[in-house]
Amino acid sequence: MAIATGTDLNPLTSELNERLTAGPVSAADVMALALYHPLHGYYRRGAGPWGFEGKDYYTALDLGPLLGQTLALRLEQAWQHLERPAQFTVLEAGAGRGWLGRDILNAATPPFATALHYTHRDDNPAARKAAEEALAPFLATGRARFMHEAESIEPFIGAVLSNELFDALPAQPWRWDGTRWVREVLTQNGPQWHPHHEPISTTWFESQGDGIETGDGSVWCEALPLVASTLAKALQAGLFITIDYGDQASNLLAKGADLRRFKSHTVDGKWWDELGECDLTADVDFTRLIGILEATGLRQVAHESLSHWIRAHAPLGQWEAEWRELATQARIKRMENLLQLTMPGMMGERFRVLEGWRE
């Protein structure tokens, strides 16, 4: 079975079919091609995939401003904790359309707002166009700016922030088949699990939980240490905060974490299909991420569900007063924003918020 046939092949599918003639391609390499091919990758193409209507998926930012408003308060607390530095930089990696930056900048009030400067770091061209629009008033006054992913980051005081960055990094599914470790690959006959020797990932899996059983397995993100530690090391003092899908390592192993594909608001496991036209994501191993961040000197690194974090930190008193003033449709949308981020079984339970400090 070839991956696709026909005369109007997606360029990525043709490229993959050619690579497959030389042998199996790992799922992580397929994910890297699908998301980050310089011209046709899902996050490198010209048109954006986000939103509710006719798009592939939505993020917490599409639901409304509650996440940004809560972050604005949390960042203000960090600024107070650092004894109110004159400049407090928030660097958002994987910032996409810049909506989170916009919501934070809109919600911040003086004197914190005067110190707050926002940096958007993401090479996604479609998202960058949307971010230029969303951040326009703040770009004009110098309170927001753009930075490319390859640019080195000068050490700064403030916060490193990300929403759904780490789950978008290429990751490799692994399973214990009862006698050996196998990894998922694509072959000319479709996806298969092949034995492979890679002590760095499998030793990590074996060190988590009380013994591995047949069918256990997880996803291994090779780029995680470099991306996370580059960001954390640039933070001279302040808060590292990341919001993402995922869990602790032992839970991911027990569930057999795998890659997910989002296409037109449906989710399935067909990571090899329609390359460049669907989003692919992998759970973030928060146990591993904590270890990486602690190795850079961050302290008090811990994570909790987004719903718990929102209930603990959201400005709900002030939010309620504003909500009462809204027109009916806007009130309904705001209520949905709150419910999605706080109710069991909804988005707030599927996401986790990790925080860590550098004093």
Ligand X SMILES: C[S@@+](CC[C@H](N)C(=O)[O-])C[C@H]1O[C@@H](n2cnc3c(N)ncnc32)[C@H](O)[C@@H]1O
β 266-268/259-263 pair status:
antiparallel
Strands (E), the chain: 25-26, 88-93, 116-121, 144-147, 156-163, 172-176, 181-187, 190-195, 219-220, 235-247, 259-263, 266-268, 279-282, 284-285, 299-305, 351-358
Q: Interaction with ligand X in 34-53: which residues (CB under 6 A)?
A: 43, 50
- Six-digit token string for 129: 């166009």
Please state the closest distance from residue 288 (CB atom) to ligand X, in A. Answer: 17
Q: Interaction with ligand X in 214-233: which residues (CB under 6 A)?
A: 227
- 76 alpha-carbon distance from chain centroid: 23
- Choices 89-97, 315-323, 324-332, 347-355 (CB under 6 A): range interacting with ligand X: 89-97
Judge contact between 95 and 48, C-beta under 8 A. Answer: no
Q: Which of 165, 185, 212, 235 binds ligand X (CB under 6 A)?
A: 165
Distances (CA, A) of 299 to 154, 284, 290, 338: 21, 20, 10, 30
Please state the closest distance from residue 75 (CB atom) to ligand X, in A. Answer: 16
Residues sharing a CB contact under 8 Å with residue 114, sequence separation 6 or more, in sequence order: none
User: Alpha-carbon distance 218 to 205, whole Å?
Assistant: 8
Count interface residues toward ligand X (CB under 6 A). Answer: 21
Q: Which of 13, 26, 59, 201 binds ligand X (CB under 6 A)?
A: 59
Q: Which of 33, 168, 257, 278 binds ligand X (CB under 6 A)?
A: 168
Please state the closest distance from residue 279 (CB atom) to ligand X, in A. Answer: 7
Q: Which of 14, 52, 109, 149 binds ligand X (CB under 6 A)?
A: 149
User: Binding to ligand X by residue 32, rule CB under 6 A?
Assistant: no
Please state the closest distance from residue 139 (CB atom) to ligand X, in A. Answer: 18
Q: Which of 24, 65, 68, 96 binds ligand X (CB under 6 A)?
A: 96
User: Alpha-carbon distance 222 to 201, whole Å?
Assistant: 9
Q: Interaction with ligand X in 110-139: which residues (CB under 6 A)?
A: 121-124, 127
Q: Which of 163, 172, 202, 296 binds ligand X (CB under 6 A)?
A: 163
Closest CA to 89 of 34, 28, 154: 154
Please state the closest distance from residue 61 (CB atom) to ligand X, in A. Answer: 5
Point out which residues bind ligand X (CB under 6 A). Answer: 43, 50, 59, 61, 93-97, 121-124, 127, 149, 163-165, 168-169, 227
